[in-house]
Chain A
């Protein structure tokens, strides 16, 4: 083979020929082991150049068939298992499950227990949103610092939970018809202190972040979710309210004693990542209002309905769906009883999974770096997505 033959294979004109500029579609598997996926979650992404033309989420790496396990154990024995769904927010998981069983069996909750439930749920909302903002910034490349600030505050709330339930994250604190135990001595004062100091942390956090040029450049106009699509795709929680839909189950259902508290529901305009960030910050401030009032007003009394039966609990045959506004969206439990000691059907409505329905719609046309931020703004926990 002579030198001229070889040269024939190369384009020596200095201009690209059509074969050179043809951009092939590149398929990338993002995950399952990638720090930005917040667990084990895979996105099969098709890229044209840097733009995303297709994105399919793949689930199931953490699937353990939570529902089947719950159908084979008694009602009460599923309570600690609900902690493991969304392991950031075990208190709200407990509440959603307890609420559904109370609907199913017609149990009443004493007033003090209702107050404790509101206090723990709002503390959970604080810690979830704080952590989420930290993770979001971490995903954007602000390595370490915001997340450590967030975790420092979270630890203060987890200390309260530990004093209350014996465990930082897997609280297993609520029971059908109330709570497991009363508040320990000095707990209310400690909680008041944490709540009183929280606005200062939020101010500092916001001063550092909300007008940060890089944060604005990375989030405004990214991952826009139209309002109609959000409603049609059953998106709930801060994701939905960032699109401007006024739907907060605390206001709609007034479960527990939420009708006694005054708080506003922050709404976004654009439905982009920045709005989702901002909604969460504003929601934390509203939670602090609820907490201040609840901690001041909490009455004395029993924390569990004396008629509530924990062992040998057999609700009448029938079914019930109960739902609460968990930090990530609508968390619901659907239970069918056949009169036996185990639920005949036990279903978790996981907000994290259903909020991912529109992940592809939000990501199309963006770059891979934006996908990481958009996924971070959805706020998923894989323990709940895969169950």
Chain B
């Protein structure tokens, strides 16, 4: 298969305005991926499937990844004027990187027997702007997997023919695969010698009133 740089150049020539970025991978597998902007994702996907040199007709694996907001504390030395004299003072700055959700597509070619080419799409944030274009119209194999991402990560795939929850039930509210998911508190007390369970039980159940000593 062509290198990712060649593929990127070919896509940029064929799809005008597509913004692509090659993401590095430091692990020994060396599987780098191509980040595609949402607006051109469908056209890029069509190009990858139909191009005679690539023919990535087989979308093997589709999955979501959650990248929560990151707060990094960076210590810097700043020169400040303290009591008339210039001094170096340590300051910590909180650097906030906004989080996002990611959909990863592993593409192979069944006719030319090469691959994988890895596509990545990213949402703007994790709360309200979680829409991505669905690639199910291009590869039908993504249908159930995109439904699974919608169910477990909460990415809304526009253009998906049948976007419903797949593994969790319809009335379920949250998205369990997100890193900040908290299990619902449906604790039931069972007699147990374990201290932490007893602690949890105490928080839940009304404390039995101490019996007054009978006269």
Q: Which residues of A does B touch, CB under 8 Å?
A: 59-60, 63, 65, 67-68, 103-106, 229, 231-236, 245, 247, 252, 315-323, 330, 332, 334, 336-337, 345, 347, 349, 353-354, 356-358, 386-387
Contacts and interface: CB of A to CB of B under 8 A. Distances in A.
Contacts of A318: 25-29
B60 A357 contact: no
Nearest to B65: A345
The 7 A-B residue pairs whose C-beta atoms are closest, nearest first, are A234-B141, A318-B27, A106-B28, A320-B29, A60-B167, A349-B61, A103-B29
Most buried by A among B140, B152, B169: B140
A320 B26 CA distance: 10
Contacts of B57: 231-232
Given A105-B28, A315-B27, A68 B176 contact: yes
Contacts of B145: 354
A349 B59 CA distance: 11
Contacts of B139: 232-234
A59 B27 contact: no
B59 A234 contact: yes
Given A59-B167, A65-B176, A386-B167, A320 B141 contact: no
B110 A319 contact: no
Contacts of A103: 27-29
Interface string B56-72: 01111101010000000
Which secondary structure dominates where chain A touches chain B?
A: mixed
A315 B29 CA distance: 12
A336 B120 CA distance: 14
A103 B27 CA distance: 8
Given A63-B168, A334-B63, A345-B65, 20 more contacts: A60-B166, A67-B152, A104-B27, A231-B110, A233-B139, A234-B59, A234-B60, A247-B110, A315-B27, A316-B28, A318-B28, A319-B25, A319-B31, A320-B28, A321-B29, A321-B106, A323-B60, A332-B61, A349-B63, A357-B143
B167 A349 contact: no
21 contacts: A60-B168, A60-B169, A65-B177, A67-B152, A103-B29, A231-B57, A231-B58, A232-B139, A232-B141, A247-B110, A318-B27, A318-B28, A330-B60, A332-B106, A334-B63, A337-B27, A345-B63, A347-B61, A347-B63, A349-B60, A357-B141
Given A332-B60, A332-B61, A105 B106 contact: no
B140 A232 contact: yes
A304 to B, nearest CB: 18
Most buried by A among B27, B65, B106, B116: B27
A65 B151 CA distance: 12
Contacts of B106: 321, 332, 334, 349
